[in-house]
Each structure stands twice: as structure tokens, then as C-alpha cells.
């Protein structure tokens, strides 16, 4: 009978069961250790392969070593798993974190936000920023929650510590604020500068304009006296009187030049495409008396057409050409050569070159008395003269006007001179595209 | 006929030069002076014998030459009197503006006394 088994048979059965139990325990240990990816089970001589749901070892290691917090929560917010990063972030051991409600680590001001995120994540996923509290410290964190339904009734959560980012944000914010303040200061300084420039221009305009009035009176009454009383004058008185009128005329020239200088950046400034060949033709025409008187030769050809303020460039070339004639050598026919070429900025070796790739370089070279190289900057300063009035007449304003005109055109002017050989003035104008 | 000229100018030196030059050309012309637009209009409104010509400076206190000119040309009793601008300004804009307002001639004040004499002579010959 089947129920009446021998003791021997029973012992054999126990041994069999014990072996199977040992096998099962080994299997469980292996599964726990993550050594099993799949196992086969023999049933009725057919083997079936089972893979483990939690058998993806690679992913588990990845999560464990992850550089951000990985937490598994129940739908009520109880922590069932945390990786090393997260419990270290909380400065608590694993056992004190697992089993605790995540809300215990959320700053009270973020509780509402977190509740809302958790609720939303139950239907899929939710992301947001909250503050965690660790002891007395607040850790800003970005959390991304994903429901693991329907497989598991838990929510997976990735926690990113935003402390560093917030700190950088604050640095950037404060840097931006400082930059804004600096810009505002710069703007106001610019405004002040503009204002004082305008004031200066209007001052010199008004000053020279009002200076003309008393001068005109001196000249008018001198003329009246000369006209009416000239015959009664002694030779000495007549000489004195002529010196008075000559001085007054010089003053008039100075004031007019000064007015011209102050008008250079205030008066109508309209840029137009201008053929410099035609412009120099005009200048030659205007200066024909002095050109004829000194038998001066002006050579130029193939000058470019540039976008300039025509009347300012006319003034510029008039000043430079008449200077070249004025400072010619006695008994030498003045020869003035005007040439133009495009030069790349890096070949110019000029400290005040602006940010342009290339410049038009227009040179006006003469064979006059030249000047010592040490004066190449001084000659462009207002009222600076290298010669006595008896030697060469001049106001000391002409080249200052040239400099200002070039500045108005975003260019600049340079001069080189060799005594008794000649002077060359170089005009640099940025080459504009289009 | 009584020959009368009104000179409106705030500058005593210019008044002196003007009157002296005028006397050299025509000593029988009476020159009345006003030193700004307000004074000029006051004179014109209170005197029965209107001047034959008005010489008008532009830059003056209280009422400048432009406004004075405009008021003269809007007044039916005065608008026929020729107005000649006598100023230090040599601005083409000022010339254009005063011409539009009805001024006949524009004389620039310069130290050239002979030039002023010639111009005055021309004006007076055509007028008187």
C-alpha cells in the first residue's frame, strides 16, 4: 500500500527534499547577489527558461554609482530604495533613509510643490524644483518622477543637486548686475562727454563770433580815420596805423579759422560718394592764384571715389595743398604729388588704427622745406606753429582742422617730414564694404 | 518833401558810423534811431510822418529784427515802407528768411566803410 512506506523510503524522501531545498537556497543567494540573469526549470522532462525582472545587473550598478540621487518611492512617498549618492547627500546611513517618508527631507515651503509633483507622477511623470532640508542646510534640487506602474506600484525619482548651479546662477546674476551698472556708468560718462564736447564747440563758436564784433569796430573806425585823416598823419603815425590794421586783419583771419574749426563737427555733415579727382580739380581752381604765383605743379590721377563730407574734404585738400605751396623752398618750383592706395590694417603699424580690415591711404607729398620728425604730432595741435609769422604766415589752425575732419570720417592723418626735402601727409580712411 | 530814415540798431558804434556815412552822402536826410524792435514799433505807431526807409538790425534785445520786420509787414499803415536789413550776419539762411518776410535789401556790416557808402548812395538815389 502506498501509505505504508518503509522508514528507509521516508529517509530517502527527506534527503531528496533537503537537496532540493539547498538548491533553492543557492539559487536565491545567487539571485540576491545578482549573479543570475536567467534560469531553467525542468518540468515533465521539458525545460523552461525564466529571466528575472530585476536581473539587469548593469542597470543596477549604473543606478548605484549614479552621480545623481536615484530614489524609489511608494505611491505614498515612502522611500523603498535609495542609491549611495542620495543618502550621502542627506548625510544619513542607508537604513535611516529607507522606510522614511521622502517628505521628511523636503523643506516645508516645498512640501506643497512636492505633493503636487508626486500626484502628477502617478499618471505618468512630473518634473520640478524643490528645496531639500538637511539639518540646517537647504539643498535646492531638481526632481524628476516617473511612475513604474503597471509593473510596480512605486515611483522612480532622480534628484539633481542644484547647489552649484544656483551658486553659478548667483555669480552670473551678480556679474550681469555689475556689468549693467558699469554700462550705465559708461553711458552716463559718454553722455557727459558728448555734452561737454557740444558745450565746447558752442563755446568756441560763440566766443569767436563775439570776438569778431569789437574787432570789426576797430577795423571800421581805423578805416574811417585812414580815409579821412591820412593826409594829416606823420610818417610815424601812418606806420603805426598800418601796423594796427595789419594786426587786426591777422586777428580776423585767426577768428575766422577758429570759427571754421569749431564748425567742423557741428555744421551740416552729409556723406556723399565723391570723386576725389573732381574734388582736387575744384581745390586747384580755388587756389589758382597762389598756384600761378609760385608756378606750383600738382600731380594726381586715378584717385578713388569715396563716401565723404564733400565740403569738409574740400577744406582738407585746400589746407594741405596750400600748406605744401606755402612751405615750399625758395627758388624751387613746388611739386605736389597726390596718390592713393588700399593698405591692409596690419601693414600700417599705427597705434590708433580702428577695427577695419583695410584703409584707403591717400598721400600728399611735396618737395618743400619739410620738418624735423620730432614735430610730426605737434603740427596737428591747435595754434602750434613751427615758424615765425615773419617767415611763413599762418594761424596754426589749418592742420588741426584737417585732423578733426579725418576724425569725423573715422580716419586719421599722419605726417612725415625730412628737413629741406619735403613733407608727406597721409590720410587714412577705412574701406567700407558695399 | 521831408526826408526821413529810421535806423533800428542797438549798437551805438554802428549807429554812429551809419549816421556819419549818411551825412557825407546826403546831409538833408534826417536819421531817427531806435535801439530795438519794441522802440521801433512804438516810434512808428506814434508818429504821423512815417520814415521813407527803415534800416533794421537783426540781433537786438527785447525784440529782434525778424519779429519787428514781420510786424511792420503785417501792419497796413507800415507795410509799404521799404525795409533794408543792416546786420553782421552773413548767413544765407537769414537772407532768405528776411526776404520771405518782405525785406528789400540785405546789407552786411563790414569794416569796409567805402562799401557801405556806395550801397547807401545807391539806395538813397533811387528813393529820394
- pLDDT tens digit string along B4-21? 999 999 999 999 999 999
| Backbone angles phi and psi of A339, in degrees to 5 | -130, 160
Taking contacts as CB-CB distances below 8 angstroms, the residues of chain A near B114 are 223, 227
Q: Which of B102, B104, B69 is nearest to B84 (CA)?
A: B104
Identify the H or E element spanning A57: helix A57-65
Q: Which of A381, A385, A383 is nearest to A413 (CA)?
A: A381
Question: What pLDDT is attached to residue A390?
Answer: 63
pTM of the model: 0.52
Distance (Å) from the C-alpha of residue A215 to the closest C-alpha of chain B? Answer: 9
Question: What pLDDT is attached to residue B65?
Answer: 93
In sequence order, the 6+-apart residues with CB closer than 8 A to the CB of A396 are: A382, A383, A384, A385
Number of inter-chain CB pairs under 8 A, A vs B:
25
Q: Chain A residue closest to B21 (CA)?
A: A224
Is B93 part of the contact surface with chain A (CB cutoff 8 Å)? no
In percent, how much of chain A has pLDDT > 90?
A: 37
Q: Would you call B114 and A213 a contact, using CB atoms and an 8 Å cutoff?
A: no
Whether residue A23 is preceded by a cis peptide bond, meaning omega within 30 degrees of 0, is: no
Taking contacts as CB-CB distances below 8 angstroms, the residues of chain A near B13 are 217, 220-221
Quickly tell me which residue has 585823416 as its cell.
Answer: A229
Question: What pLDDT is attached to residue A194?
Answer: 83
Is B62 part of the contact surface with chain A (CB cutoff 8 Å)? no
Distance (Å) from the C-alpha of residue B77 to the closest C-alpha of chain A? Answer: 35
Identify the H or E element spanning A70: strand A69-74
Query: How far, CA to CA in Å, does A92 sit from each of A10, A74, A106, B22?
Result: 53, 20, 15, 112
Chain A residues with a Cβ under 8 Å from any Cβ in chain B: 212-213, 216-217, 219-224, 227
In A234-350 the beta strands, taken as DSSP E runs, fall at: 272-275, 297-300, 305-308, 335-344
Identify the H or E element spanning A60: helix A57-65
Query: How far, CA to CA in Å, does A323 sit from each of A80, A281, A363?
Result: 94, 17, 14
CA pair distance A367, A324, nearest whole angstrom: 8
Taking contacts as CB-CB distances below 8 angstroms, the residues of chain A near B110 are 216, 220
User: Which residues of chain B, if any, have pLDDT below 70?
Assistant: 1
End-to-end alpha carbon distance in chain B: 9
- pLDDT tens digit string along A371-404? 888 888 888 887 777 776 666 777 778 898 899 8
Interface of B with A in 16-35 (CB under 8 A): 17, 20
In chain B the beta strands, taken as DSSP E runs, fall at: 4-8, 30-34, 53-56, 83-87, 105-108
Question: What pLDDT is attached to residue A32?
Answer: 67
Q: Would you call A220 and B20 a contact, using CB atoms and an 8 Å cutoff?
A: no
Taking contacts as CB-CB distances below 8 angstroms, the residues of chain B near A217 are 13
Amino acid at each position: 500500500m502506498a501509505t505504508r512506506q518503509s522508514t528507509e523510503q521516508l529517509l530517502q524522501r527527506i534527503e531528496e527534499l533537503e537537496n532540493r531545498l539547498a538548491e533553492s537556497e543557492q539559487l536565491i543567494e545567487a539571485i540576491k547577489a545578482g549573479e543570475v540573469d536567467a534560469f531553467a526549470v525542468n518540468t515533465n522532462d521539458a525545460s523552461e527558461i525564466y529571466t528575472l525582472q530585476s536581473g539587469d545587473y548593469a542597470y543596477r550598478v549604473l543606478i548605484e554609482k549614479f552621480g545623481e540621487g536615484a530614489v524609489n518611492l511608494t505611491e505614498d512617498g515612502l522611500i523603498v530604495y535609495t542609491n549611495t549618492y542620495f543618502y550621502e547627500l542627506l548625510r544619513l546611513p542607508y537604513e535611516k533613509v529607507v522606510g522614511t517618508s521622502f517628505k521628511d527631507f523636503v523643506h516645508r515651503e516645498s512640501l506643497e510643490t512636492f505633493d503636487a509633483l508626486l500626484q502628477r507622477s502617478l499618471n505618468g511623470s512630473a518634473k520640478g524644483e524643490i528645496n531639500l532640508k538637511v539639518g540646517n542646510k537647504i539643498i535646492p534640487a531638481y526632481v524628476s518622477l516617473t511612475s513604474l506602474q503597471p509593473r510596480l506600484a512605486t515611483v522612480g525619482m532622480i534628484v539633481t543637486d542644484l547647489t552649484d548651479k544656483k551658486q553659478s546662477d548667483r555669480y552670473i546674476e551678480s556679474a550681469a548686475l555689475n556689468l549693467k551698472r558699469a554700462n550705465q556708468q559708461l553711458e552716463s560718462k559718454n553722455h557727459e562727454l558728448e555734452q561737454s564736447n557740444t558745450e565746447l564747440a558752442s563755446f568756441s563758436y560763440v566766443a569767436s563770433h563775439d570776438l569778431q564784433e569789437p574787432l570789426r569796430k576797430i577795423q571800421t573806425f581805423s578805416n574811417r580815420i585812414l580815409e579821412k585823416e591820412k593826409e594829416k598823419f606823420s610818417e610815424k603815425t601812418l606806420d603805426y596805423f598800418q601796423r594796427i590794421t595789419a594786426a587786426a586783419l591777422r586777428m580776423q583771419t585767426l577768428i575766422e579759422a577758429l570759427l571754421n574749426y569749431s564748425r567742423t563737427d557741428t555744421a551740416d555733415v552729409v556723406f556723399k560718394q565723391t570723386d576725389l579727382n573732381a574734388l582736387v580739380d575744384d581745390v586747384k581752381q580755388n587756389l589758382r592764384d597762389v598756384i600761378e604765383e609760385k608756378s606750383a605743379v600738382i600731380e594726381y590721377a586715378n584717385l578713388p571715389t569715396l563716401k565723404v563730407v564733400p565740403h569738409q574734404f574740400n577744406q582738407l585738400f585746400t589746407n594741405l595743398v596750400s600748406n605744401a605751396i606755402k612751405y615750399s623752398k625758395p627758388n624751387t618750383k613746388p611739386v605736389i604729388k597726390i596718390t592713393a592706395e588700399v593698405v591692409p590694417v596690419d601693414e600700417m603699424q599705427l597705434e590708433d588704427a580702428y577695427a577695419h580690415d583695410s584703409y584707403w591711404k591717400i598721400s600728399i607729398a611735396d618737395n618743400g622745406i619739410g620738418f624735423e620728425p620730432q614735430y610730426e604730432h605737434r603740427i596737428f595741435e591747435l595754434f602750434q606753429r613751427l615758424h615765425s609769422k615773419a617767415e611763413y604766415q599762418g594761424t596754426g589752425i589749418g592742420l588741426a582742422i584737417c585732423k578733426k575732419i579725418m576724425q569725423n570720417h573715422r580716419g586719421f592723418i599722419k605726417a612725415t617730414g625730412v628737413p629741406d626735402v619735403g613733407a608727406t601727409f597721409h590720410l587714412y580712411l577705412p574701406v567700407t564694404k558695399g | 518833401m521831408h526826408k526821413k530814415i529810421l535806423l533800428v540798431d542797438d549798437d551805438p558804434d554802428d549807429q554812429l558810423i551809419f549816421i556819419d556815412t549818411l551825412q557825407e552822402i546826403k546831409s538833408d536826410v534826417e536819421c531817427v534811431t531806435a535801439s530795438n524792435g519794441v522802440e521801433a514799433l512804438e516810434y512808428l505807431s506814434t508818429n504821423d510822418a512815417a520814415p521813407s526807409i527803415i534800416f533794421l538790425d537783426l540781433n537786438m534785445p527785447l525784440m529782434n529784427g525778424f519779429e519787428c520786420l514781420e510786424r511792420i509787414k503785417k501792419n497796413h499803415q507800415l507795410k509799404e515802407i521799404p525795409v533794408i536789413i543792416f546786420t553782421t550776419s552773413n548767413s544765407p539762411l537769414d537772407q532768405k528768411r528776411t526776404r520771405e518776410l518782405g525785406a528789400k535789401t540785405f546789407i552786411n556790416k563790414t569794416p569796409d566803410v567805402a562799401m557801405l557808402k556806395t550801397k547807401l548812395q545807391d539806395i538813397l538815389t533811387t528813393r529820394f
